[in-house]
């Protein structure tokens, strides 16, 4: 590939991937291992995880860290759990990066919580250029980790952002194969007790109202 075309292709990829690249991507574009090593030596590529580099400068946005983690875990990896919830903006990021990989993939990376699991094709999507578990299975994953109030807040945020409303969420859950968190989320969405809310105070009031019948 012509040098100018190669550089333009690389920079376009960097822009799409929030400032990060994988070694295998550079090799597939025709860059040699020596050229990659030279760019690391002169400070143009900064290692983030094994085989993944920040381009130009080591500082990364949240999206850059998430994209780098996905690239570090292989071509079939997806952002999931708390990191996915932060990307979808249905829960705050707790500085933990979760990535899900197919069950047959053995992958460990320091600083990344890797989940080996059977991934349903309907779970897979992309948001802001980052491969990620869809918002509905993300809420199911969160159900095993969050208290009811925090889970209700995540559901309400998904509704406010136009990602999924409670009725569509209930329908989607009925179509999903059994998995951890499914029953918890169904019970949280009980039509007799669940109402979408805008604030912690509203959720506190609803809890009091439920207890008082």
**pLDDT tens digits, 119-162:** 888 889 999 999 999 999 999 999 999 988 889 999 999 999 99
Domain parsing of the chain, residue ranges: 3-55, 141-212
Give the whole-angstrom CA distance, residue 61 versus residue 208.
40
pTM of the shown model: 0.85
| Residue 30 CB contacts under 8 Å (≥ 6 apart), including other chains | 1, 6
> Which is nearest to 177 in space by CA: 206, 124, 137?
137
**pLDDT tens digits, 11-65:** 899 999 999 999 999 999 888 999 999 999 999 999 999 999 999 888 999 999 9
DSSP 60-71: --HHHHHHHHHH
User: How many CB atoms neighbour CB 191 within 10 A?
Assistant: 9
């Amino acid at each position: 590939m012509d040098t100018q075309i190669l550089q333009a292709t690389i920079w376009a990829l960097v822009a799409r991937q929030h400032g990060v690249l994988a070694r295998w991507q550079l090799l597939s574009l025709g860059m040699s291992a020596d050229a990659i090593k030279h760019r690391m030596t002169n400070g143009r590529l900064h290692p983030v995880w094994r085989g993944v580099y920040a381009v130009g400068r080591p500082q990364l946005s949240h999206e850059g860290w998430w994209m780098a983690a996905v690239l570090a875990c292989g071509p079939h990896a997806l952002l999931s759990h708390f990191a996915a919830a932060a990307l979808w903006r249905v829960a705050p990021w707790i500085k933990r990066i979760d990535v899900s990989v197919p069950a047959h993939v053995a992958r460990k990376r320091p600083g990344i919580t890797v989940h080996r699991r059977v991934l349903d094709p309907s779970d897979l999507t992309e948001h802001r250029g980052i491969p990620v578990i869809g918002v509905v299975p993300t809420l199911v994953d969160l159900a095993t980790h969050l208290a009811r109030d925090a889970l209700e807040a995540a559901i309400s945020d998904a509704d406010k952002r136009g990602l999924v409303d409670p009725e569509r969420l209930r329908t989607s859950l009925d179509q999903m194969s059994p998995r951890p968190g499914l029953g918890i989320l169904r019970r949280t969405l009980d039509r007799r007790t669940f109402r979408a809310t805008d604030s912690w105070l509203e959720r506190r009031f609803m809890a009091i109202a439920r207890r008082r019948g």
